[in-house]
Amino acid sequence: NGNFAIISEVPFDMALNGGYYSAHSQNVYVELSLILAMLYCIKISEEKFSRFKGILLGIITVFTFAVVSEVIEADYGMYGIVAAIIMYSFSKSRETRAISILPAFAFEIHMPAVFLSIPLVYFYNGKRGLNLKYLFYAFYPLHLIIIGIIRMKLL
């Protein structure tokens, strides 16, 4: 995620800000990298400390990553961090995983189509599908470059 966060930043800024660099917004891979680091810290806290200390450190970790996400102006900011921790907290069973999407995406009320993901999450069988990871990783910056070029030429 970290490498793609770096690779995608210039195309993201081109498409959204009309220039090659903006300190005022970071792409979704930056947000995903923060989420991955946060979940790793929480997992370590759960494994190494008592239940009480683990929960306390988890709360501090979520708060810290939410603040960092806001300060660096990551794509979804603290809402992405909170949505991720809600989904992580309810990831134990198929039912709770599907239900966790509801409060997690309450932040995205302006995008009602996100609710279409509920059946996909519910029926996910836990098995990895086709390995198209790098195709999707490549698509993200490439489509942003195209949008950025169009934006910079027209505006």
The total domain count for the chain is 1
* Tally of helices (H runs) and strands (E runs) in the chain: 7, 0
Q: Yes or no: say if 3 and 136 are a contact pair by the CB < 8 Å rule.
A: no
Residue 131 lies in a domain: no
pTM attached to this predicted model: 0.81
Q: Which domain holds residue 31?
A: 2-91+136-148
| Digit-coded pLDDT (tens) for 38-93 | 999 999 999 999 999 999 999 999 999 999 999 999 988 998 898 889 888 888 77
Q: What value does the mean pLDDT take over residues 30-45?
A: 95
Residue 23 lies in a domain: yes
Rounded Cα–Cα distance for residues 141 and 4 (Å): 8
| Digit-coded pLDDT (tens) for 88-110 | 888 877 777 777 776 656 666 55
Residue 104 lies in a domain: no
